[in-house]
Amino acid sequence: GANDVWIFEIAQDLTVANGVNVSLAGGALPRNVFWQVSGLIQLGTTVHMEGIMLSQTAITLGTGATVNGRLLAQSAVSLDSSTVTAPTP
């Protein structure tokens, strides 16, 4: 539901293949979904993700990728004609 929180902890890199669409259901909100990754986050071309992405290293978005959430990395966030939309409070 809208008040639930999900935390996905990944102890290595997170690579999402081209064209993947991650959507939320059941009233889940992007502001309550966290992707905590100890390595690199790499989203392929035209990928759509939901939630707040936290990387211990870097985040790279391929051409046309979209994120409904936030991107936070300790070193760098690289965008290639990508769109990031902050979730509603």
Q: Rounded to whole angstroms, how far apart are CA atoms 54 and 41?
A: 8
For 41, the token pair is 């986050």
For 13-31, what is each residue's pLDDT tens digit?
999 999 999 999 999 999 9
Strand partners, 8: 35
pLDDT bracket for residue 88 (50, 70, 90): confident
For 20-62, what is each residue's pLDDT tens digit?
999 999 999 999 999 999 999 999 999 999 999 999 999 999 9
pTM: 0.93
Asked if pLDDT for residue 1 goes beyond 90, the answer is: no
> In a 3-state reduction of DSSP, which class is residue 46?
coil
